[in-house]
């Protein structure tokens, strides 16, 4: 790993902070002491004046106490009489000049230059004081021990703090490595209410989406292989009969044509779904690419009706257009017709009664309804209707892999619209598509010349 590990960086940060704080306190101590000198010196001078007055000129006894002051407090004292002779001395301090003596006659305590003061001793003279602010080092190296203990405490706190940060990161790294190695069940599973918890939740959400995508791809391959097997087997039988010189009856040719249509529809569903998913999943892409053009609604629905009647000539299909509906809609004609055909195929498979199609305007959108009076669906079936490969209850003759409705919804959403389903078991089903009549400029459009609807 390049550079220091995160744990080491955290430790180094806390130790550095401790050293900087210690250095700052050391540098600030003299200035703090200096700011307190006048008050402290005045108090000390008042105390010394009282103590010296209590000895009543017994200077030998006062000298003993003055030496204690010097040793433990750093306080130096020199006492002079009125004539300027030294009576007591622990610091060889100079006598006051005449001007200072005159001021001392008016003030009991006189502060001189930094660290020095003078006090008047009634009927005895005066004393000059000097307070040294550099205390002697504590005995036995106690300051060093205190610093070491504090440093050790800082290191313990640093270890505890770093573990709360590094441990979830290490846990997330292991989950990421396991997921990258193929374990799609690997998750971080962190329960934290901070940024690391948000990161872990984002990873888990991403892992869930990727696992769902991989699972859907596997299901797609499994379902497609299953659906391909039956029509391919029938086609193979027909080819074998033809190679042996046998004549195929008209019914067999019809079944062969249906098998080919089923295969073509399956391949188209898979390719269209893949196209929409790929376009929508590209970074920075606002949505699937649409080949937009002005589509004539009457012609679009007529083509879908013709296809429906060709596949089910004995079934009734009614198409109703609202007179107030604009004649054109801006859409991808191939995809929009594919969505309508999927819904019509679904109605044909699950209903024996008439299928109804109605189109009308709802504000700035096309509202298209496709309804049947078939077997209908329960609430649970409606909830899973747009899941890939969902089949639900179906007649035995109904084919497909469960991609038609998924594809329909993605086509409608690619046009900026919505799709709703209303169904009741034993009554029927109604699909409602709402698609904007015109598209905004924010939609990604592939240029395409106007062409007829196939």
Q: What is the per-residue pLDDT for 400?
A: 56
The pLDDT score that the predictor gives to residue 300 is 92
Residues 6+ apart with CB under 8 A from 158: 10, 11, 13, 14, 15
Phi/psi-derived region of residue 268, left when phi > 0, alpha when psi is between -120 and 50, beta in every other case: alpha
Pairing assessment for the beta strands 125-131 and 428-436 based on DSSP bridges = unpaired
Give pairs for 336-339: CB < 8 Å, separation 24+: 336/295, 336/300, 336/411, 336/415, 336/435, 337/300, 337/303, 337/304, 337/453, 338/268, 338/272, 338/407, 338/408, 338/411, 339/407, 339/408, 339/411, 339/412, 339/433
374 and 344 in contact (C-beta within 8 Å)? no
Cα–Cα distance measured from residue 116 to residue 129, given in angstroms and rounded to the nearest whole number? 5
Q: Where are the alpha helices (DSSP H) in 88-194?
A: 98-106, 142-180
What is the distance between the alpha carbons of residues 82 and 171, in angstroms, rounded to a whole number?
Answer: 84
* pLDDT confidence of residue 369: 95
Q: What is the pLDDT of residue 356?
A: 94
Residue 414 pLDDT:
87
Q: Let me know: does 276 contact 414? Beta carbons within 8 Å.
A: yes
Between CA 231 and CA 235, with CA 232 as vertex, the angle to 5 degrees is 85
Low-confidence ranges of the chain (pLDDT < 50): 1-4, 31-35, 134-140, 283-287, 396-397, 441-454
Burial of 112 (0-12, 13-18, 19+ CB in 10 A): middle
Max CA separation in the chain (angstroms): 153
Q: Is the pTM of this model over 0.95?
A: no
Rounded CA separation 113/92 (Å):
16
The span from the first CA to the last CA of the chain, in angstroms, equals 61
The two three-digit tokens of residue 273, written as one number: 């779904």
Can you list the domains of the chain with their CATH numbers? 6-136 (no CATH), 293-436 (3.30.565.10)
pLDDT of residue 27: 53
Q: What is the pLDDT of residue 142?
A: 56
Instruction: Identify which of 60, 183, 44 has the alpha carbon closest to the alpha carbon of residue 115.
Output: 44
Q: Which string of DSSP letters, residue by residue, matches 191-252?
A: --SSHHHHHHHHHHHHHHHHHHHHHHHHHHHHHHHHHHHHHHHHHHHHHHHHHTTPPPPHHH
Residues 6+ apart with CB under 8 A from 305: 317, 319, 357
pLDDT of residue 14: 61
- Beta-carbon contacts of residue 355 (< 8 Å; ≥ 6 apart): 308, 315, 316, 317, 318, 344, 347, 348, 370, 371, 372
Residues in CB range of 430: below 8 A, 6 or more apart = 369, 370, 371, 372, 421, 422, 423
Specify the pLDDT at position 301. 92
């Amino acid at each position: 790993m390049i550079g220091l590990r995160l744990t080491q960086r955290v430790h180094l940060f806390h130790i550095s902070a401790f050293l900087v704080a210690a250095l700052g306190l050391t540098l600030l101590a003299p200035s703090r002491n200096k700011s307190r000198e006048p008050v402290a010196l005045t108090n000390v001078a008042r105390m010394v004046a009282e103590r010296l007055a209590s000895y009543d000129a017994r200077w030998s006894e006062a000298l003993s106490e003055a030496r204690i002051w010097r040793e433990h407090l750093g306080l130096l004292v020199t006492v002079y009489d009125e004539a300027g002779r030294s009576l007591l001395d622990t610091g060889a301090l100079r006598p006051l000049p005449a001007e200072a003596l005159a001021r001392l006659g008016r003030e009991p305590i006189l502060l001189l230059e930094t660290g020095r003061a003078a006090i008047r001793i009634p009927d005895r003279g005066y004393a000059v004081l000097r307070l040294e602010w550099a205390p002697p080092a504590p005995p036995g190296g106690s300051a060093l021990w205190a610093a070491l203990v504090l440093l050790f405490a800082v290191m313990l706190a640093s270890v505890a703090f770093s573990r709360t940060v590094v441990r979830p990161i290490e846990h997330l790294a292991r989950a990421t490595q396991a997921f990258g190695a193929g374990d799609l069940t690997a998750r971080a599973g962190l329960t934290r209410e901070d940024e690391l918890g948000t990161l872990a939740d984002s990873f888990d959400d991403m892992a869930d989406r990727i696992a769902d995508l991989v699972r859907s791809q596997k299901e797609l391959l499994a379902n497609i292989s299953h659906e391909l097997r039956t029509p391919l087997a029938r086609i193979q039988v027909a080819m074998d009969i033809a190679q042996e010189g046998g004549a195929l009856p008209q019914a067999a040719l019809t079944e062969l044509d249906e098998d080919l249509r089923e295969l073509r529809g399956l391949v188209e569903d898979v390719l269209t779904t893949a196209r929409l998913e790929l376009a929508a999943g590209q970074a920075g892409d606002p949505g699937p690419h649409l080949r937009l053009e002005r589509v004539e609604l009457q012609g679009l629905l007529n083509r879908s009706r013709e296809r429906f009647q060709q596949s089910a000539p004995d079934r009734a299909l009614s198409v109703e257009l609202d007179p107030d509906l604009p004649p054109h809609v801006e859409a991808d004609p191939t995809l929009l017709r594919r969505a309508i055909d999927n819904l019509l195929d679904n109605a044909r498979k699950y209903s024996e009664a008439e299928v109804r199609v109605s189109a009308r305007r709802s504000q700035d959108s096309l509202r298209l309804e496709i309804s049947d009076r078939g077997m209908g669906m329960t609430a649970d079936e409606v909830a899973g209707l747009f899941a890939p490969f969902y089949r639900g209850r179906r007649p035995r003759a109904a084919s497909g892999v469960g991609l038609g409705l998924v594809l329909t919804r993605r086509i409608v959403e690619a046009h900026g619209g919505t799709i709703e389903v209303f169904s009741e078991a034993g009554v029927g089903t109604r699909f409602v598509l709402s698609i904007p009549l015109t598209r905004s400029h924010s939609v990604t459009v592939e240029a395409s010349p106007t062409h007829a609807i196939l």
